[in-house]
Chains A and B, each alone.
Chain A
Amino acid sequence: MIELKDLSYVRLGASNLEEAESFATKCLGLQIGEQSGKALYLRSDDRAHTLCYFEGDPTDQTVGFEVEDESNLNAAAATLDRLGHPVHAGTPTECTLRKVNAFIGFKDPTGNQIELVVRPERSGKRYFASRDAGITGFSHVGLSTTNPTRDEQFWTQVCNARVSDRIGDIALMRVNAIHHTIALAPGRGPGIHHVNHQVESNDDVLRSFYHLSGQRVPIVFGPGRHPTSGARFLYFQGPDDMVFEYSVGVDEIEDEETHRPRQFGFEPSSLCMWGSKTARR
């Protein structure tokens, strides 16, 4: 079994790197860790980067997960290879671009680009936000799925993810105590559905609602509260239509051994207990 330890980063192709920088610093509130002509490394916590925008195709989207060490990485490569997923071993140049010691790349059954990494870099400098968004860190991703049941099996049987709750057929899955690290979202093809950052308080969620509305950033869902995780949330749209989420107060699963996933109906009140409706999707 492939033991995922944590989320590491997302890599997003940007059709306009300047626009991505402006959004990331003035709206989202991340800190620029490093910048070259072709790539922008953004920080949200004590990691050297958790989001990289690179000049390229906006449909080129990748999620990186950390595994324990190089032997686990090799074992994961062998497992994926045996299951028929083509595996790419990262070259030294590619590792430098990701600020990791080693990595492999593959696609999940829907075709989402996934990377497993070893020794992702942390920074000694503390994260200092470019705007007062209250971000405490990069926390989870929504991944598109063309077949929720098949993909749930992949993440829970080939990898170590556990289902925390389901909304209809959609699984919210954890790899540690946090309610979910991977949320599957039905889609027509591969891609990242949303990128979540945690913020400090309810106040931060509502302040950002008014701040982003004033910046004419499209709000796509919320402010609201998920009945599944208990988190208060706000979803909004960034460059190349990527959706970002702020949330606060996500539950931890305290009874790892005995927790049983709850089934929520596939209806709006399962996504928001306050009554907000999604503006798209």
Chain B
Amino acid sequence: MVLGAKVTDRVGEVTYLGIDQKHHRVVLYPSDKAGLVYVSYGVESMDAVMQNNYFVQERQIKIMHGPGREPASGQIFLRFAGPEGYVFSYGYGLKDIEPHHRPRQFTLEASSLCEWGSECADVVELQPAQAR
């Protein structure tokens, strides 16, 4: 209301918010604390997401979630651990929102956050079973 964002979709109470033509620019994850769940950077292709997947594995950087794909936004993602407990993400394929889009409600379960079947090991906000 105050900032003018629009709800585009929900997974349980996880809420995708759009402020322009993109599916989302902000995602709110229910949590018991304030803070960033992750910060996502767009990359140019699926190839880049997958190349980064093997790149971070080779450097023994912990992958938190993915490689995966969000059913709501279409975005292919790879979320991995940075220093100080921050999680970073690469994303590709975030859809534009259709003109007459109505927010959809997805069931709160792992396949609503990743349609490929990846599961998040360590971030409680990204684990539907914990969030229930």
Interface string of A6-25 (1 = CB under 8 A from B): 00000000000000000000
Interface status of B27 (Cβ within 8 A of chain A): no
CB of A211 within 8 A of CB of B117, answer yes
The answer to whether B46 touches A202, judged by C-beta atoms less than 8 angstroms apart, is yes
Most chain A CB within 10 A, of B55, B58, B116, is at B116
Q: Does A209 contact B (CB under 8 A)?
A: yes
Are B116 and A207 in contact, CB atoms less than 8 angstroms apart? yes
Interface size class of B (residues with CB under 8 A): 10 to 19
By a CB distance below 8 angstroms, the chain A residues around B124 are: none
Count of chain A residues near B, Cβ 8 A: 15
Given contacts A203-B69, A206-B67, A206-B69, contact A274 B47 (CB under 8 A): yes
Q: Which residue of chain B has the shortest Cβ distance to A272 in the bound complex?
A: B54
Query: A274 contacts B116, CB within 8 Å?
Result: no
CB closest chain-A residue, reference B118: A210
CB distance from B114 to the nearest CB of A (A): 8
In the complex, chain B residues whose CB is within 8 Å of the CB of A210: 116-118
> Which residues, 195 to 213 on A, are CB-close (under 8 Å) to B?
202-203, 206-207, 209-211
A275 and B54: CB pair below 8 A?
yes
Q: Given A203-B69, A206-B67, A206-B69, are A275 and B117 neighbors across the interface (CB < 8 Å)?
A: no
CA gap between A223 and B47 in the complex, in Å: 11
A203-B69, A273-B47, A274-B47 given; A214·B54 CB < 8 A = no
Q: How far is the CA of A210 from the CA of B51 in the complex (A)?
A: 18
Of the candidates B50, B117, B118, the one having the most CB atoms from chain A within 10 angstroms of its own CB is: B50
Shortest CB distance B78–A (Å): 12
Q: Which residues of A contact B69 (CB under 8 A)?
A: 203, 206
B20 at the interface (CB under 8 A from A): no
Q: Determine the residue in chain A with the shortest Cβ distance to B116.
A: A206
A237 within 8 A of B: no
Q: A203-B69, A206-B67, A206-B69 are in contact. Are A274 and B50 (CB under 8 A)?
A: yes
- Can you spell out 29 A-B residue pairs with CB atoms less than 8 angstroms apart? A202-B46, A203-B69, A203-B115, A206-B67, A206-B68, A206-B69, A206-B116, A206-B117, A207-B115, A207-B116, A207-B117, A209-B117, A210-B118, A214-B117, A223-B67, A224-B50, A225-B47, A225-B50, A273-B47, A274-B47, A274-B50, A274-B53, A274-B54, A275-B50, A275-B53, A275-B54, A275-B55, A275-B58, A276-B54
